[in-house]
Structure 1
Amino acid sequence: MQKKTIHILSIESSCDDTGAAVLRNNEVLSNVIAGQKIHAAYGGVVPELASRAHQQNIVPVVDQALKLAGITKNQLDAIAFTQGPGLMGSLLVGTSFAKSLSIALNIPLIPVNHMQAHVLAHFIKEEGHQAPPYPFLCMTISGGHTQILKVIDYNNFEILGETIDDAVGEAFDKTAKILGLPYPGGPLIDKYAREGNPTAFNFSEPKTANPLDFSFSGLKTAILYFLQREQKKDANFIKQNLNDICASVQRTIVTILMKRLMKAAKETKIEHVAIAGGVSANSEIRSSLKSMEKTLGWTTYIPKFEYTTDNAAMIGIVGYFKYLNADFGKEDITASSRLGINES
């Protein structure tokens, strides 16, 4: 007979944030994250430095998560962890810790696909938040991924479109670097864009063979060449037009995203539409999605900010669903830097 109350400790270590959370069924009791500021000096995440920091952070982060949840490790029913995709060195730290603790406590080990977790974060129980019904569309947008998914069940995803080169988060961060903004630059573009004119400058939208796929590499190059031309005319062009440049770049990227999302909704006739991933914290993406709710009759689902970026609570909710279905991992399971959306 299934236990009524299930406590799951979840661990996230796919990139540069060490996360640990405790869930009681589908409710988050604690969600702790230790970031790594050291990467800012390099303009991006350095894999070796990230894995070392995870080794330093994982024990205190897990300890804090248990204390904030008000439970002991002996009350845990399972350990969920990010199996992949992500940086291999970072993933190995979380995988090794989860496996060791699972063996020590003699409780199930649950491998979780990081990208599934971003999507299923919508099912974390929160006051005032409604989870989308199956099937629904979800656009996952992050530093490493850009996809439009048809979500059929908690473990059944169909890719309708995806990036063929750079992810949308890369487009934001690399544009920010060209503009001389510190890492991570995506949130700064969003900040400056709010004070700028989104129609000040025009950038062409890259074409793809599959109209639901994305391509941001060409856009990034077009922005670079545009800025180089303008700076030859005026060395202070970026400084004098920073807000307008950010607003124009953001408008172009958001337009690309929303056009494909609208096309996917029209083709599938699905009107329940969600966003997920770190870039879903972008204010223009959120406002555009909400406006489509009014104009197109969609029901839209936007995650809480704390569940958009990499965090362990989203790993825990997938762990909860898999626990209910006795979908456990074996002791010989390994981390995988490349993992398809339906793999784990």
Structure 2
Amino acid sequence: MLSRAALRCARGNVLHLKSNSYARNFAVLALESSADDTCAAVVTSEREILSNVVISQNELHASVGGINPYVAIQGHQKNMPVALRRALDEAKLEMGQVDGIAFTRGPGIGGCLSVSSNAAKNMAAALRKPLVGVHHMQAHALTPLLTSPKESLPQFPFLTLLVSGGHTMIVLAKSVKSFQILATTVDESIGRAFDKVARMLGLEWGTKGYGAALEAFCASGMEKFGELSPQDLLRMPSPMPGVLGFSYSGPHSNIERHVHSQGGIEYLDEKARWRLAVSFQKAAVSQLEEKVELGLKWCYRNNLPVKDLVVSGGVASNQYLQKRLHERLCSDNAEYSSMQLSFPPLHLCRDNAAMIAWASMHRFLVKDLDDYSIEHRAKWSIEDL
């Protein structure tokens, strides 16, 4: 909690800025703890990532079979001071040399969000630094503006496919702070469905979670068993055909019903489980492909001929997804062959604080700042920035 004196200092959106605070090379320290990783980073207005620390909680969550909010909060409380110190050390900066402090305001798990929120607010108040709270999915959407070569930066307006454990959305990015949701999931996210199917098939949590384990299982089986013909794949539903919207409970339930019909996972050998994994991954990604094309057609019908598609979020690191989107949208004979497809580097697809720092930068540079008493928001639409 902040003291009354600290809160009084915060009134007026932080006016205690040094005269040179908005120099061209502005350094932001950012904190992220919205779900299962504890993150801190320092990024400059020149698109330099001076540090990007991610302390994974995979071992903690593997022991309980998935992300447990109570376990995650305890992990963040333990790891945040370590992540913060490492981020400053790797950036070769002291706290006094940081120009602004940013944090993930939401959406996410409430108790997890409070760890980075409280840490950022208390540091900013104590050191009289400007503060900005960032929308998590906005940060994912803007990551390629930080990581892409300057000659191929996505140009507004562009289409964004946001795919993670908590979200599956197609969003029209009109500017750094204006977004329109074109499609979202009516039930569960693609990331959550990947996790559930991986658990159902008896896969291990691994070093990067269940979704990555399922992707790796599909790839390793291809080398071991060879290609599957369309006849070998389990017949999967095509949810909401022709509609700008996602549904992943159907494909997930289809796998579940098949496993039960065979008497349970213990009655399926490795090849049978691999067949189910490949069937699900193909169906899940095919749905993304179809809906992205629908989103592009919507844009053209509404005189918004977007030239860039940004794919971000944890599931964007899936190599099969990247390959399929490139083939369907960017091959020479594809309808949208002139489309530029942007994926963040693999290590920046997952949650990280570098993207939070970058998403806050435009607000710091125009002095659009938050009060030290700002609250985190577990539920927060990207349209409501």
The TM-score by the shorter chain falls in which range? over 0.9
Asked which structure has the greater CA Rg, the reply is 2
Aligned to 1:31: 52
Deviation at 1:129, TM superposition (A): 7.9
Distance 1:105 1:343, change over 3 A: farther
Secondary structure at the counterpart of residue 124 of structure 1: helix
Kept in 2, the 8 Å contact 1:165–1:216? The answer is yes
Q: Are 2:271 and 1:249 equivalent residues in the alignment?
A: no
Aligned to 2:330: 293
Moved more, 319-328 or 235-244: 235-244
2:212 & 2:61 partners in 1: Cα distance? 16
Aligned to 2:347: 306
Root-mean-square deviation (CA), in Å? 1.8
1:129 & 1:83 partners in 2: Cα distance? 31
Moved more, 324-333 or 249-258: 324-333
Distance 1:185 1:231, change over 3 A: same
Moved more, 133-142 or 244-253: 244-253
Deviation at 1:108, TM superposition (A): 0.6
Deviation at 1:210, TM superposition (A): 7.6
Kept in 2, the 8 Å contact 1:136–1:271? The answer is yes
Kept in 1, the 8 Å contact 2:39–2:52? The answer is yes
Q: Are 2:275 and 1:275 equivalent residues in the alignment?
A: no
2:41 & 2:179 partners in 1: Cα distance? 25
Kept in 1, the 8 Å contact 2:53–2:86? The answer is yes
1:22 & 1:235 partners in 2: Cα distance? 48
Counterpart code for 2:344: P
Please, what TM-score do these two structures have when normalized by structure 1? Answer: 0.95
Counterpart code for 1:207: P
Identical amino acids, percent of aligned pairs? 31
Deviation at 1:50, TM superposition (A): 0.9
Deviation at 1:202, TM superposition (A): 3.0
Kept in 2, the 8 Å contact 1:192–1:242? The answer is no
Gaps of 5+ in 1: none
1:262 corresponds, among 263, 276, 293, to 293
Deviation at 1:70, TM superposition (A): 1.1
1:324 & 1:254 partners in 2: Cα distance? 38
1:109 & 1:140 partners in 2: Cα distance? 26
Once the two structures are superposed, residues 49-92 of structure 1 have per-residue CA deviations (whole angstroms, 9 ceiling, x without a partner) of 11111111111111110110111111111100000111111111
Aligned to 1:162: 184
Aligned to 1:224: 256
Aligned to 2:320: 284
Aligned to 1:334: 375
Aligned to 2:213: 188
Distance 1:235 1:89, change over 3 A: closer
Please, what TM-score do these two structures have when normalized by structure 2? Answer: 0.85
Distance 1:235 1:40, change over 3 A: closer
Gaps of 5+ in 2: 1-19, 301-305
Q: Are 2:32 and 1:12 equivalent residues in the alignment?
A: yes
Counterpart code for 2:28: I
2:64 corresponds, among 24, 39, 42, to 42
Q: Are 2:97 and 1:75 equivalent residues in the alignment?
A: yes
